[in-house]
């Protein structure tokens, strides 16, 4: 594989790309080769919560389920934060039990996510996807053991160049999330920002992938 897409909602089935496709418990597509699965805070439904968690627990035991997620906290939605925290906590404990990394959706809730990791003593890798904040937030996440993934906002916001450059080489990933651009375009921009050639970037992400997912890209 030449490229790894940490987080996407669209399976493109390219031979050169390993895509970690986001799946939801009630809309699971068994044809997708590699995926993450979780309860997004936007889509918490208390009526089916236990069923969703059972599906997630079942899928976490499958080898082509590479991660739990996306899941997390979002202070800009109407779903009560206390409910979001309960659902997030239950998913983190599943990830810890089955030793799967966690892809995290975090909006205006970084302190709460950091605190929950500490309180629950989570040791599996936790990856903040779609990062769009400043160097200070990034540094606090890195200092607390998180990985950071860049994609949509890296393409859209030139101010993120210096933030991206500040991330240690062994702690970042790239993604497309919901944008139309392909992962290759994200790689091209990331290589430019790092002042690396494409091979150096690909080798670094392969190394990061091996460290987090305990397998080779």
Please report, in range form, the residues annotated as the binding site: 70, 105, 129, 177
* CA distance from start to end of the chain: 6
Q: Enter the tokens of residue 42.
A: 């936007």
Q: Annotated binding site for a divalent metal cation, which residues?
A: 70, 105, 129, 177
Distance between CA 211 and CA 188 in Å, rounded? 23
* Burial 29-67, CB ≥16 within 10 A → b, else e: eeeeebbbbbbebeebeeeebeebbebbbebbeeeebbb
Q: Are 49 and 56 in contact (CB under 8 A)?
A: no
Judge if the upstream peptide bond of residue 70 is cis by omega within 30 degrees of 0.
Answer: yes
Report the chain's C-alpha Rg in angstroms: 16
Burial (Cβ within 10 Å: 0-12, 13-18, ≥19) of residue 185: middle
Q: Kindly give the residue spans of alpha helices, DSSP state H, lying in 14-105.
A: 49-60, 81-98
């Amino acid at each position: 594989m030449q490229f790894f897409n940490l987080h996407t909602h669209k399976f493109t089935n390219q031979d050169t790309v390993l895509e970690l496709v986001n799946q939801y418990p009630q809309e699971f597509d068994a044809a997708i080769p590699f995926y993450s699965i979780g309860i997004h805070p936007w889509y918490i439904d208390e009526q089916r919560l236990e069923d969703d968690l059972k599906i997630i627990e079942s899928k976490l035991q499958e080898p082509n389920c590479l991660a739990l997620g996306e899941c997390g906290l979002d202070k800009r939605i109407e779903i009560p934060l206390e409910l979001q925290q309960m659902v997030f906590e239950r998913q983190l404990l599943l990830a810890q039990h089955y030793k799967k990394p966690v892809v995290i959706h975090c909006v205006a809730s970084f302190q709460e996510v950091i605190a929950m990791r500490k309180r629950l003593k989570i040791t599996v890798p936790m990856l903040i996807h779609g990062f769009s904040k400043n160097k200070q937030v990034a540094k606090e996440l890195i200092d607390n053991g998180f990985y950071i993934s860049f994609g949509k906002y890296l393409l859209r916001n030139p101010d993120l160049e210096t933030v991206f450059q500040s991330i240690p080489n062994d702690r970042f990933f790239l993604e497309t999330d919901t944008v139309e651009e392909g992962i290759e375009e994200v790689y091209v921009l990331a290589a430019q920002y790092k002042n690396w050639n494409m091979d150096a970037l690909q080798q670094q992400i392969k190394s990061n992938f091996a460290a987090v997912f305990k397998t080779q890209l």
